[in-house]
């Protein structure tokens, strides 16, 4: 669910840029604010189906504006309705019996908002999806605008092997997780004039795991290929200038089979998010989805509701032979030239170096002993290897 919410944040940021722009200053028309944004899908391989309803916000003050209290139901092409429950945060979830989720089945979403607005999507049809084939990496380098600025790392690839009965349109969604460590346990600290000794050493914030949805959109069409397969499709690049590869890296790959209309929508979203040009170097495309404001036809509804089938695969990478890591270390150490007297008057905890017997006149930054400060959590994922 958190990954789905991250996608919504990413899409809202993109939709905030769909108006015309002048040099150096975005111009947002008044009717581009306060539009409904609907994102969701029916996935043949998911047990819970999710739809998100929100409102666009100002580009100068981007916020996620959830719309709660809606009546949301998914309808199939046989006229059977599947109501969704309001989770209170803009997401609506429910289950659909797998017997209705066969390739060739079509679905749409119907929404009634608290202000009486009726929103509905076009029907979208489930296509068959092949399993995720081999995922692998090569050690490669990437260069910034400065051709001499080399960043070594690993480039991940995946092979696609589809049948003629499978879709010809595909989207990959990537979620990465990595393990990282603080340098030392909590042993000594100063607080309000007193030095405290922690016995035994506190290792509770030494090891963390950080999980992020990769926002880049990965798309492939095999429509114009003789066979429904593709070798070495490039996924994400993980550079040596991050700590992702130090103790273990995992990538969850989700491959979705799309309809042609869904592929067109995501391709336009991808072009809007193309990072090769700056924000003011080109005019963003207005991304038209398959949603309609039935009550007020002249007001656009942003987003897309799709029917897909999918497969997932998780890989683990560690170690990377011969790859030297060059990431910035946020842990810094400072010697106290005058000793502990330098800390007088401070009203916050200061961590000190030391051994089992005594502390040293040396201060650690909090990142040296608390890995959670870099965004991760100390709960080991259930899928993480021992």
Contact status, residue 105 vs residue 76, Cβ threshold 8 Å: yes
pLDDT of 251 strictly over 60: yes
HSE-CB at 289 with a 13 A cutoff on CA atoms is 28
Identify the pLDDT of residue 31. Answer: 52
- 137 has a pLDDT exceeding 90: yes
Whether the per-residue pLDDT at 146 is higher than 80: the answer is no
**Sorting pLDDT into bands at 50, 70 and 90, what band is 63?**
confident
Q: Is the pLDDT of residue 22 over 80?
A: no
If 0-12 CB within 10 Å is exposed, 13-18 middle and 19+ buried, where does residue 64 land?
middle
Asked, for residue 187, whether it belongs to a domain, the answer is no
Q: Is residue 373 part of a domain?
A: no
pLDDT above 60: residue 156: yes
27 vs 370, residue with greater confidence:
370
C-alpha–C-alpha distance, residues 159 and 168, integer Å: 14
> Is the predicted pLDDT of residue 14 greater than 80, yes or no?
no
Average pLDDT over residues 110-122: 98
Tokens of 271: 């072009």
**Domain contains 299:** yes
Q: Is the pLDDT of residue 92 over 70?
A: yes
Q: pTM value?
A: 0.88
Domain for residue 34, yes or no?
A: yes
The helix/strand count (H/E) of the chain reads as 2, 26
Q: Structural domain of residue 12, as residue ranges?
A: 2-127+258-309
Chain centroid to Cα 304, Å, comes to 18
Mean pLDDT for 140-146 is 83
Q: Is residue 88 part of a domain?
A: yes
The pLDDT, as a whole number, for residue 23 is: 34
**167-201 pLDDT tens trace:** 999 999 999 999 999 999 999 999 999 999 999 99
pLDDT band at 34 (very low <50, low <70, confident <90, very high): confident
pLDDT at 380 over 80: yes
Hunting for tokens 């040099």 — which residue is that?
23
**Number of folded domains in the chain?**
1
Domain-located, residue 188: no
Per the structure block, which two tokens stand in for 353?
A: 């170096």
Please give the share of the chain, as a percent, with pLDDT higher than 70.
87
Residue 103 falls within a domain, yes or no?
Answer: yes
pLDDT on residue 143: 86
Q: What is the DSSP string of 248-283?
A: -EEEEEEEEE--HHHHHHHHHHHHHT-TTS-TTSSP
Which tens digits make up the pLDDT trace of 315-366?
999 999 999 999 999 999 999 999 999 999 999 999 999 999 999 999 999 9
Residue 18 has pLDDT above 50, yes or no: no
Any domain includes 108:
yes
What is the average pLDDT across 240-266?
A: 97
């Amino acid at each position: 669910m958190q990954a789905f919410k991250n996608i919504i944040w990413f899409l809202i940021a993109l939709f905030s840029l769909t108006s015309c722009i002048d040099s150096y200053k975005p111009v947002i028309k008044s009717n581009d604010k306060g539009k409904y944004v609907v994102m969701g899908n029916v996935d043949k391989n998911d047990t819970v189906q999710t739809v998100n309803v929100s409102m666009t916000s100002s580009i100068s003050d981007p916020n996620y504006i959830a719309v709660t209290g809606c009546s949301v139901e998914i309808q199939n092409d046989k006229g059977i309705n599947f109501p969704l429950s309001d989770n209170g945060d803009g997401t609506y979830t429910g289950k659909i019996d797998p017997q209705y989720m066969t390739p060739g089945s079509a679905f749409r979403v119907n929404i009634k908002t608290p202000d009486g607005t009726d929103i509905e999507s076009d029907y979208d049809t489930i296509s068959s999806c092949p399993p995720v084939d081999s995922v692998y990496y090569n050690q490669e380098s990437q260069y910034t605008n400065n051709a001499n600025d080399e960043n070594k790392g690993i480039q991940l690839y995946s092979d696609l092997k589809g049948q003629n009965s499978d879709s010809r349109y595909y989207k990959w969604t990537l979620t990465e997780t990595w393990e990282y460590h603080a340098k030392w346990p909590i042993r000594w600290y100063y607080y309000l004039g007193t030095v405290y000794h922690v016995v035994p050493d506190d290792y509770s914030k030494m090891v963390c795991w950080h999980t992020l949805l990769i926002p880049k959109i990965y798309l492939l069409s095999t429509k114009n290929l003789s066979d429904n397969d593709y070798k070495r499709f490039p996924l994400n690049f993980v550079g040596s200038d991050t700590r992702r590869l130090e103790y273990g890296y995992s990538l969850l790959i989700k491959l979705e089979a799309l309809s042609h209309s869904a592929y067109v929508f995501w391709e336009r979203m991808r072009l809007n998010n193309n990072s090769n040009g700056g924000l003011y170097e080109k005019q963003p495309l207005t991304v038209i989805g398959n949603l309609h404001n039935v009550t007020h036809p002249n007001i656009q509804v942003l987003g897309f509701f799709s029917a897909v089938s999918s497969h997932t695969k998780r890989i683990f990478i560690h170690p990377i032979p011969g790859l030297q890591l060059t990431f910035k270390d946020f842990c810094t150490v400072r010697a106290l030239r005058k000793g502990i007297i330098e800390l007088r008057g401070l009203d916050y905890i200061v961590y000190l170096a030391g051994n089992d017997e005594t502390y040293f006149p040396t201060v650690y930054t909090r990142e040296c002993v608390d890995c959670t400060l870099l965004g991760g959590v100390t709960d080991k994922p259930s899928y993480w290897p021992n």
